[in-house]
Structure 1
């Protein structure tokens, strides 16, 4: 007995009438209009532009869920069997929208309000006042300048991580032991590192490192000057995350084709020539991935700064994230802090996009 084709995975065409299509589209448009009307009405109510509204945004959430359900159901009603395939992706997309897009829209609204948690009035729209305050905020621009130093330090971290990866990829004694030891800093949270190193070991009066420096006849001042404090923050952050880059580069080294490396040795290439002409070019994709991911982590640097220096001395170690955190915690200025965060988000998106384009063009250039 023979069969033609795989009937189990064959999708037959559905007979979908025009009335069925109109019903499905009417469901989506009706639920969508209801959601938009309720959202607009609630926004007008919260901004004191209308007296019609709800106490909370919960009814608007229910309207969104109704629209999402109608949209999913309409896929099957309008497209039949093909619409069922969409249901594997559409609910997840709608869930992402509810967790990402709506909070971003709310944050955008808060960015143009005067909202201090110490006030009983709640968020009060203040136009472009927060933007004008940001342009004149020297501490915020200083934090942005510090981020240039912090991001530039990734290049030094990459060199160290690559050297360690080459070392751990070589045939040395106790190689597995050293791999575990070098990964230990990555197992610690930055908060733990900041307290163990910055607050304990490097403490000016009783820290063991400070006492050793004092015994040698020097006066310890790890966080006394802007340059030294910034360097110590970079060092602690690098000690925590260099193993992350190292393990990625080590995985790339172990995946390299051994035949090519052995062929370069047969041709008489020295160790440096083999690295420069063979290993490093083959490692470029892994290197770019490790550097970009590390830069993304670096742009979120905050916890070590908050716990060790609180941005001092004089804002010399502040990152943008730590400065925004203090704007929330110390000044309870939600509106202004949210504006700073939104501007920083836009800058990050532009910077990462430009960086990826430059890297893509550089890697596609002819050899």
Structure 2
């Protein structure tokens, strides 16, 4: 009631001034950013050498939003100022860089070229659609994401083991968490570049000792993919395991004890009680692991550089090499933006499907 009375006490002219201030600040920011994007793409020649005008326009926009809220809403507007910095920070750190990336994605910009940045319309998108190496990387991502189910099964088994009354349980919990503390790049060098080195690596020597003539772990496409997955899984399974272990420890023990008294076998107790009760935690762990898997790049870049012949490339590693090896900023940014759209659609559909399934089960 107090808020409603405060709103009604504000003069209509003051509200109009507030709306006008917000609209003016917003238009100034949008038009300045659009002009700078067209200038950067080479469509307009405005002589702007940096993005400071857009930064200043954004600061004016932020002040206009705050002042407009106070003019329009009075005391409620002053309270809104406390959450305004968080919203503006999100715009500055997430939305604006995305729009800046979009402005680059539609340009022909190669750092090795003397011509500089030039607008080329949809040429980068058409090139992407015809790029077999990019689509090969997309197929690889499907394979790597499907391996998440195998990682989940291993992590669940380890969580069940560490939740049981075993000897030195606290010690084993620390041991299984050690891979999570290591950098994927360190693991890549330790395992992929050292232990699996085909001439002097200990695994290759052991393979020759047992009869393999020329053991090589990264020349066959499928073998190379599996070794990439093994290294990534070794680093990442402890994360899923600790989430599942926390869920297991939160389960009410009375239910399983009652089932045990009724004569249910360990498999029946797991499949009919533990697993259904763990579904919310399991789905959360799987979705988080999929999100991390979609960013897989560091192990591939360090060990195989996408080889042999792009067979192990993830989309992220392919985009990285497009920037590093070919200095193709415009095309590389288009690849990244297209992949971002694919990820957003995929995760949105996945979450919707999982939420509907959970509602049906509950």
TM-score w.r.t. structure 1 length? 0.93
Segments of 5+ residues of structure 1 without an aligned counterpart are: 1-9
The 1:77/1:181 distance shift into structure 2, 3 A limit, reads same
| Offset, 1:207 | 1.1
Q: Which moved more, 1:310-319 or 1:53-62?
A: 53-62
CA drift at 1:119? 1.5
Give me the whole-angstrom Cα distance separating, in 2, the residues matched to 1:292 and 1:350.
14
Q: Residues 242-261 of structure 1: CA distance to partner in whole angstroms, max 9, x if unpaired?
A: 00010000000000001111
SS in 2 for 1:365: helix
Match of 1:296 in 2: 291
Task: Return closer, same or farther for 1:152/1:51 CA change in 2, 3 Å cut-off.
Answer: closer
Q: Which moved more, 1:229-238 or 1:118-127?
A: 118-127
Please name the residue that 1:96 is paired with.
90
1:240: how far off? 0.5
Q: In terms of mean alpha carbon deviation, does 32-41 or 121-130 score higher? A: 32-41
- Answering whether residue 61 of structure 2 is matched by residue 67 of structure 1, we say yes
RMSD: 1.7
1:53-97 alpha-carbon deviations (Å, 9 max, x no partner): 533220221111111111112212211111122222222111111
Alignment of 1:320-339 (within 5 A): 320-339=315-334
Q: Name whichever of 257-266 and 101-110 sits farther off.
A: 101-110
Aligned partner of 2:149 in structure 1 is: 155
Change (3 A) 1:104 1:304: same
Are residue 238 (structure 1) and residue 233 (structure 2) matched? yes
Return closer, same or farther for 1:115/1:168 CA change in 2, 3 Å cut-off: same
Q: How many residues align?
A: 358
- Say which of 117, 125, 130 aligns to 2:124: 130
Q: Distance in 2 between matches of 1:222 and 1:118?
A: 35
Moved more, 261-270 or 212-221: 212-221
Q: Which moved more, 1:250-259 or 1:343-352?
A: 343-352
Q: Structure 1 residue 50: deviation in Å?
A: 4.2
How far apart, in 1, do the equivalents of 2:68 and 2:263 lie? 68
Cross-structure match for 2:27: 33
Q: Is the 8 A contact 1:312 1:318 kept in 2?
A: yes
Q: Is the 8 A contact 2:112 2:327 kept in 1?
A: yes
Q: Distance in 2 between matches of 1:113 and 1:48?
A: 9
2:343 to 340, 344, 348: 348
CA distance in 2 between partners of 1:123 and 1:292 (Å): 38
CA 1:215/1:49 → structure 2, altered by over 3 Å: closer, same or farther?
closer
Q: Which blocks of at least 5 consecutive residues in structure 2 are unaligned? A: none
**Aligned residue among 269, 272, 276 for 2:271:** 276
| Contact 1:13 1:81 (8 Å CA) reproduced | no
Residue 219 (structure 2) pairs with residue 217 (structure 1): no
Deviation at 1:11, TM superposition (A): 6.6
**In 2 relative to 1, CA 50–339 (structure 1 residues): closer, same or farther, beyond 3 Å?**
closer
